[in-house]
Amino acid sequence: MKAYIFPGQGAQFRGMGKELYEQSSLAKARFLQANEILGFDIASIMFDGTDEELKQTKVTQPAIFLHSTILAEALGNGFSPDAVAGHSLGEFSALVANRCLSFEDGLKLVSARALAMQKACDLEPSTMAAILGLEDDVVEQICQEIPDIVVPANYNCPGQLVISGSVPAVEEACSLLTEAGAKRALILQVGGAFHSPLMEPAREELAQAIEATIFNTPICPIYQNVNALAVVDPKEIKKNILAQLTAPVRWTQTMLAMEKAGLTEVIEVGPGKVLQGLFKKMNRDLKTSSAGMG
């Protein structure tokens, strides 16, 4: 089984997509279309903007989505997935690549998602932290014992779990998890508590936009974040993509499920090489690569 995987927030870099824009007329047309849909010149920020400009959630999420989906489209007949998956935001890129969503609808949803998440972040100071070197169940148990909101948010690979919640709760969890034997408990420089109950206002805001969007039967299954299962039913995909905002990203479980289904190769489509690195940690013999241009 050959799977194409799509990165999430944090994979961005200055100059991303510029090579695509300059070498592909299809890509150039898509970037110009994106500028119109978003109402600002995202192409210029991606190619020539500062790190600070690129870090804004309203820019970061559409930028990564654009890089990934345009790159997949530019592959043409070379894009031949048996399955797709995306990490958090990357799930939207995957859904455009497997033709469940149109490019236009995908971009509109990603933009709406970014703005809704930013609003939710502004309501209450919140953060995330990477916990390295502990079993998942130990992290889960300690989070449960803290009265304030702190939950597992990203199951990235065995021994690497990101927690999310209110600032005091995440700080307390980091202290307790270090005592419990974590090699590192590192507060992340993020805008807020993604994939936690604190994103409920964003989920409610996005629900209407998702409900109004047409989800088509995809050309191949998508392994979704909320359940790590291969899904092809558009209604199920729609339900899961909305639940994703407040639910954890089960990437460890997704990688295991893909391997069980006979995975032989993964191709990362979009900026960076983080996801293929996580697959390599799980299985050194797996064939991994990146798709195309920067």
Listed in order, the ranges of the chain carrying CATH 3.40.366.10 are 2-122+197-290
pLDDT at 3: 98
Pick the CATH number of 124-187 from 3.40.190.10, 3.30.70.250, 3.40.50.10880, 3.30.460.20: 3.30.70.250
CATH superfamily of 2-122+197-290: Malonyl-Coenzyme A Acyl Carrier Protein, domain 2 (3.40.366.10)
* 88 catalytic residue (yes or no): yes
pTM reported for the whole predicted model: 0.95
d(CA 81, CA 95): 12
pLDDT at 163: 98
The reported pLDDT for the residue numbered 57 is 87
As given in the structure block, the two tokens for residue 95 are 């859904």
pLDDT tens for 111-157 read 999 999 999 999 988 999 999 999 999 999 999 999 999 999 999 99
Check pLDDT > 80 for residue 292: no
In this structure, which amino acid lies at residue 178?
A: T
In one-letter notation, the amino acid at residue 44 is: S
| Short-list 227, 252, 86, CA closest to 162 | 252
The reported pLDDT for the residue numbered 293 is: 62
Q: Which of 24, 166, 195, 196 is catalytic?
A: 195
Written as one letter, the residue type at 270 is: G
SS3 50: coil
Backbone angles phi, psi at 56, to 5 degrees: -65, 130
Q: What does the pLDDT look like over 39-78, one tens digit per residue?
A: 999 999 999 999 889 888 889 999 999 999 999 999 998 8
Q: Catalytic one among 68, 88, 111, 196?
A: 88
Residues 94-112 have pLDDT tens digits of: 999 999 999 999 999 999 9
Sheet with 150-157, strands from edge to edge, namely 150-157, 160-166, 126-132, 184-187
To the query of whether residue 87 is one of the catalytic residues in this protein, the response is no
Separation of alpha carbons 286 and 259, rounded Å: 9
**For position 29, what pLDDT does the model report?**
96
Q: How far apart are CA 213 and CA 257, in angstroms?
A: 28
Note whether 12 and 275 are within 8 A (CB): no
Q: Starting from the edge strand earliest in sequence, which strands make up the sheet with 83-86, in order?
A: 230-231, 222-223, 83-86, 2-6, 265-268, 287-290
User: What is the residue-averaged pLDDT of the chain?
Assistant: 95
Q: Quick one: pLDDT band at residue 294, thresholds 50, 70, 90?
A: low
Ranges in the chain annotated CATH 3.30.70.250: 124-187
- For 278, the enclosing helix (H) or strand (E) is helix 274-282
Q: Convert the pLDDT of each residue in 221-278 to its tens digit.
A: 999 999 999 999 999 999 999 999 999 999 999 999 999 999 999 999 999 999 999 9
